[in-house]
């Protein structure tokens, strides 16, 4: 067998610990599959003294994480620290600059700096790999880069955040409180160090922008993703959705069209007979529609130590085998800068929820705003006295341009009848 692939590992938290445990547990199998052993030679994290349940004494400890880029004897650096900038980015730049391969699970960094890093990797003739950055353990980057490489992809969408899906499906099945389920997701190691990235849709948007780049051959364009999360969702929205035959899921969706690339992360009502309605807990799922292969569905664990480590180590196996192509599935020079498509002309059905004061004329005011904007109402439910004596009004619209729905909501902005902001969810067809 050839020389081992020697790894310098930055970050020993949920994912870093998982990588060490996985390399220990499947050492021989991995060596047979990779054609050579994969060995961690040096590690670095913030707190040397912390008990991580793994024996670190066999590795060199490096206090300055960014120095791992030049760690003597290391062939590849694995970054599992997190953060779009800071030490993670310094480490990425200096590792690739030193002509070494780089593996990361850091979607924030790849979404913001992936193009620059891919250029550096290509220039140095080394690998930049980030399978774990999108949908945790699901090999969706590999699936699109390799398995579906012959296809033109029209649309890619799915459940890209395990924390949100864990919260939504727990609220749905057990009627549990948002904050309580979020705390459990944090304890299980699914959530980001700043969980607002999860619940406000930013983490899913990071992943979507990477996925879109790989699927459509475009430069990652995180700033073009329209983002809203699940922070303002009520248990009542989940109950109304269920009564109407839907489940609520936070979806990321990217679509290539004549007017450019449309990218959005938004809570959706998913019909109960759609496969995404049955993706529960911290699972993720991605649907990609190719012009020859048809509809592909990738599903599996989107977060957690084991699944994410599985994706990181798969990247290491590829590097050990000498198999690595362009990070975004085509050379950087071929990635196009797609214009941002306008959502206004998109047509669809919508769920709109208003919390309103319980007084005469409120329903008429909402209905008038819909009529004036040309939005036709398919169904309307009013539920009396929630929490502070206000009333919940949930509307499902007929198919309408999004611009018209936005106009109706704009008309209602500042209305004395409304308590708080309306909730708008798209209905997946």
Ligand X SMILES: N[C@@H](CC=O)C(=O)O
Ligand Y SMILES: NC(=O)C1=CN([C@@H]2O[C@H](COP(=O)(O)OP(=O)(O)OC[C@H]3O[C@@H](n4cnc5c(N)ncnc54)[C@H](O)[C@@H]3O)[C@@H](O)[C@H]2O)C=CC1
Task: Give the residue numbers annotated as catalytic, written as ranges.
Answer: 207
Residue 9 interacts with ligand Y (CB under 6 A): yes or no: no
Taking the complex as a whole, the smallest distance from the CB of residue 250 to ligand Y amounts, in Å, to: 16
Shortest Å, Cβ 207 to ligand X = 7
Nearer to ligand X, 39 or 198 (CB): 198
Sites of contact with ligand X (CB under 6 A)? 136, 161-163, 190-192, 198, 203, 302-303
If one asks whether residue 309 binds ligand Y (CB under 6 A), the answer comes out as no
Which one, 213 or 269, has the nearer CB to ligand Y? 213
Packing angle between helix 202-216 and helix 107-124, nearest 10 degrees? 30
Residues near 25 by Cβ (< 8 Å), separated by ≥ 6? none
Three-state DSSP class for residue 77 = strand
Cite the DSSP H helix spans in 26-98: 27-34, 86-97
Residue (of 91, 86, 113) closest to 101 by Cα position? 91
274/157 Cα distance (integer angstroms)? 13
Out of 106, 169, 219, 299, the only residue in the binding site for ligand Y (CB under 6 A) is 106
- Minimum gap (Å) between residue 10 Cβ and ligand X: 17
CA distance 371 to 415: 16
- What is the smallest separation between the CB atom of 132 and ligand Y, expressed in angstroms? 5
Residue 290 sits in the site that holds ligand Y (CB under 6 A): no
- Indicate the residue among 189 and 401 with the shorter CB distance to ligand X: 189
Name residues whose C-beta falls within 8 Å of residue 154's C-beta, 6 or more positions apart in sequence. 255, 256, 289, 290, 291
Residue whose CB is less far from ligand X, 87 or 162: 162
- Region near ligand Y per CB under 6 A, out of 76-84, 223-231, 359-367, 416-424: 76-84
**What's the maximum distance between 2 C-alpha atoms anywhere in the chain?**
81
As a whole number of angstroms, the distance between CA 411 and CA 131 comes to 44
Q: Which does 81 bind (CB under 5 to 8 A by kind): ligand X, ligand Y, none?
A: ligand Y
Taking CB within 5 to 8 Å according to partner kind, which of ligand X, ligand Y, none is near residue 161?
ligand X
Residues 105, 132: Cα–Cα separation, whole Å:
5
Contact residues for ligand Y, defined by CB under 6 A: 11-16, 44-47, 65, 80-82, 87, 105-107, 132, 136, 189-190, 192-193, 303-304, 308
């Amino acid at each position: 067998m050839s020389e081992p692939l020697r790894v310098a590992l930055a970050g020993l938290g949920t994912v870093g610990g998982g990588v060490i445990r996985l390399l220990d547990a499947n050492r021989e199998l991995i060596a047979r599959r990779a054609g050579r052993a994969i060995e961690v030679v040096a590690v670095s994290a913030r707190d040397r003294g912390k008990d991580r349940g793994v024996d670190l004494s066999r590795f060199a400890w490096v206090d300055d994480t960014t120095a791992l880029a030049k760690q003597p004897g290391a062939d590849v650096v694995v970054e599992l620290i997190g953060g779009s900038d800071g030490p993670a980015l310094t480490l990425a730049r200096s590792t690739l600059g030193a002509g070494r391969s780089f593996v990361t699970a850091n979607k924030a960094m790849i979404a913001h700096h992936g193009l620059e890093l891919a250029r550096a990797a290509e220039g140095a003739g080394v690998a930049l790999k980030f399978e774990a950055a999108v949908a945790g353990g699901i090999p969706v980057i590999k699936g699109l880069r390799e398995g579906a490489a012959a296809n033109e992809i029209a649309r890619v969408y799915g459940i890209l955040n395990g924390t949100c899906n864990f919260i939504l499906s727990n609220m749905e099945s057990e009627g549990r409180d948002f904050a309580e389920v979020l705390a459990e997701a944090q304890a299980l190691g699914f959530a980001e160090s700043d969980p607002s990235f999860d619940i406000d849709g930013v983490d899913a948007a990071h992943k979507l922008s990477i996925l879109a780049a790989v699927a459509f051959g475009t430069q990652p364009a995180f700033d073009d993703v329209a983002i809203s999360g699940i922070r303002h969702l009520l248990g009542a929205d989940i109950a109304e959705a269920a009564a109407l035959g839907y489940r609520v899921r936070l979806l990321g969706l990217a679509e290539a069209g004549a007017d450019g690339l449309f990218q959005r992360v938004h809570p959706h009502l998913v019909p109960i007979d759609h496969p995404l309605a049955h993706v529960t807990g911290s699972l993720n799922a991605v649907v990609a529609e190719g012009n020859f292969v048809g509809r592909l569905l990738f599903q599996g664990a989107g977060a957690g130590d084991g699944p994410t480590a599985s994706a990181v180590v798969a990247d290491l196996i590829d590097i050990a085998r000498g198999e690595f192509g362009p990070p975004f599935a085509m050379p950087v020079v071929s990635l196009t800068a797609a214009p941002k498509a306008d959502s206004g002309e998109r047509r669809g059905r919508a769920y709109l929820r208003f919390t309103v004061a319980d007084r005469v004329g409120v329903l008429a005011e909402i209905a008038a705003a819909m009529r004036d904007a040309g939005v036709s109402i398919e169904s309307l439910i009013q539920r009396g006295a929630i929490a502070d004596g206000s009333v919940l009004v949930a509307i499902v619209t007929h198919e309408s341009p999004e611009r018209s729905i936005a106009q109706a909501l704009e008309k209602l902005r500042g209305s004395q009848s409304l308590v708080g902001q309306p909730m708008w969810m798209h209905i997946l067809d």
